[in-house]
Amino acid sequence: MERRAALLLTLIALPASGLADTPEYAANDVVWIAIAAALVFLMQAGFALLESGLSRTKNAINVVMKNYMDLCVGTLMFWALGFGLMFGVNPSGWVGQDLFAPSQGDSDLWTLLLFQLMFAATAATIASGAMAERTRYLGYLCGAMLITGLVYPLFGNWAWNSDGWLAGLGFIDFAGSTVVHSVGGWCALAGIMVVGPRLGRFDNQGRPREIRGHNLSFVALGGFLLWFGWFGFNGGSTLGADVNIALLNLNTQLAAAAGALGAALYRVVSRRPVLLTETVNGSLAGLVAITAGCATMTPGFAIITGLLGGLLVGPGSRLLLSMKLDDVVGAVPVHAFAGAWGTLAAGLFYQGDLFDPQRAMVQMLGVVTAFAWAFFAALIMYMVLSLTAGLRAPSQHEQRGLDVSEHAELGYPEFAQQNLYDADVASGLDGRRWAPKNVTAAPSPPAWRPIWTAARCRKRSPFGSRNTPTARAFRCRATSAISATCSRWRVGAMICT
């Protein structure tokens, strides 16, 4: 922490042309930070795999494209605007005033800029998974630009700029449980509130329907890549090659393992099957939770921090469902809730000064401030985007899949389906919810063209008996509009394919 503060003081005290006269980094420091930045960059691949795996085949390309491009637009926005707002001269304690679009400097400036670019991209991509499968591509990218250019840098200035008002109070967030993850998580919460749930996610009574992802192997592989990248996320935040990296990364490993165990224990105690998806999210929640205090905790407290972070995943997801909020990948419990807990834990478990009430109050102030700023700023931002660029995809596009409607590509062309509806029928589906109670009879051909006729469906069903639940579900997907009486159930089944 002292090294970070000393470097930031140097950067804001000198003009860019004078930075070369006062080097802060030895060559081995620069090498380590560059490697750590590459590890954090690899986390983008982890996010892409995890989010794509938890989405359906018809949206796989759209999810990957959002992860790919929010890194690109976020990089340019943070270089042009965000870095200056976050690390520029800050006499007021609220906002940086220089270092915008830096083009002159020395290795000290470039080293810090490179590493912080990766953090900004991480904060932006968190909302992608939560809002997946029903968000317009352009509207999402506009939101990612504003997060990396304004929302994330301003809170980062308060907490990580040496003249920031939260930093002046002694706020502890070593690598970004709140600065990066909670800020991104609160933005994701605002996004899912504005964009609304996916079609068929809740029934008439508000009960959630299960919509499963298409590739859980991707989910596991994405979790491993994120875990691997976290050693650069936390270890690189030393901003130098020193012996403390060993403790930081040990705490990171212990917390991740404890988080997975915590998520699994919750499933066992609540007498539910232990799910891969929730276990992976538990390990990620443990990683998020330890990020704030990985440099100031002993290993025992790191385990407790990760364990409780993992335990938050299951109840947090169910809390969102009870509020009819559709978070596709569980980003809000993993990043927002676990990040808030980890920030409090960094104050409570501070090595050498445990359970200091004054430090705990400062940490609580930081958590509340992050929520108040990031959530409401993002809520306003997404509302404006919804009214201007457009945020929610049309219902017909959502049912066909955003791969086709947004990108004219298919991630799995062998699974491609014919159009579910023709123009006449689709004109009645432009609203967020299709109300089948207004349908009195199935339209006659050719106004409605089901993919298969009922007879062909029964004949070709590979499941044997017509009366088994599996066979009935197969026929329902294949003949999505034969009967109006259970059409709302069929929509839920159909969009799960």
How does pLDDT run across 56-106, given as a tens digit for each residue? 999 999 999 999 999 999 999 999 999 999 999 999 999 999 999 999 988
Q: Measure the CA–CA gap between 289 and 368, rounded to whole angstroms.
A: 16
pLDDT at 415: 72
pLDDT band at 413 (very low <50, low <70, confident <90, very high): confident
- pLDDT of residue 16 exceeding 50: no
* Mean pLDDT confidence for 204-214: 93
Q: Which residue has 């704030």 as its token pair?
A: 292
Contact 401, 418 (CB under 8 A): no
pLDDT at 484: 33
Q: Which tops the pLDDT comparison, 430 or 411?
A: 411
- pLDDT of residue 431 exceeding 80: no
How does pLDDT run across 419-429, given as a tens digit for each residue? 444 344 344 44
Two tokens at 194? 């504005």
Q: Which residue has 């298919």 as its token pair?
A: 410
pLDDT at 459: 37
Two tokens at 299? 């290993």
Q: Measure the CA–CA gap between 143 and 311, rounded to whole angstroms.
A: 30
**Verdict on whether the full-model pTM lies above 0.85:** no
Q: Which tops the pLDDT comparison, 382 or 419?
A: 382
The listed range with the strongest mean pLDDT (1-10, 283-292, 434-443) is 283-292
* Mean pLDDT confidence for 467-495: 38
- pLDDT of residue 467 exceeding 80: no
Q: Measure the CA–CA gap between 379 and 390, rounded to whole angstroms.
A: 14
Contact 495, 443 (CB under 8 A): no
Strand intervals (E) in 65-209: none
Average pLDDT, the chain: 84
Contact 3, 239 (CB under 8 A): yes
Question: Which of 164-178, 274-288, 480-494 has the lowest average pLDDT?
Answer: 480-494
Q: Measure the CA–CA gap between 28 and 226, rounded to whole angstroms.
A: 25
Q: Measure the CA–CA gap between 229 and 178, rounded to whole angstroms.
A: 18
Q: Which residue has 């808030």 as its token pair?
A: 340
How does pLDDT run across 442-456, given as a tens digit for each residue? 343 333 333 333 333
Q: Which tops the pLDDT comparison, 453 or 314?
A: 314
pLDDT at 105: 87
pLDDT at 417: 56
pLDDT at 418: 52
What amino acid is encoded at 437 in this protein?
Answer: K
- pLDDT of residue 255 exceeding 70: yes
Q: Measure the CA–CA gap between 146 and 377, rounded to whole angstroms.
A: 10
* Mean pLDDT confidence for 334-340: 98
Q: Does residue 446 have a cis bond before it (omega within 30 degrees)? A: yes
- pLDDT of residue 127 exceeding 80: yes
pLDDT at 4: 55
Kindly report the backbone phi and psi dihedral angles of residue 135, in degrees, each rounded to the nearest multiple of 5, phi listed first.
-110, 135
Q: Measure the CA–CA gap between 150 and 377, rounded to whole angstroms.
A: 9
| Number of neighbouring beta carbons within 10 Å of residue 253 | 20
* Mean pLDDT confidence for 26-46: 96
- pLDDT of residue 135 exceeding 60: yes
pLDDT at 68: 97
pLDDT band at 21 (very low <50, low <70, confident <90, very high): very low
pLDDT at 414: 77
* Mean pLDDT confidence for 28-44: 96
Q: What is the DSSP letter of 180?
A: I
- pLDDT of residue 489 exceeding 70: no
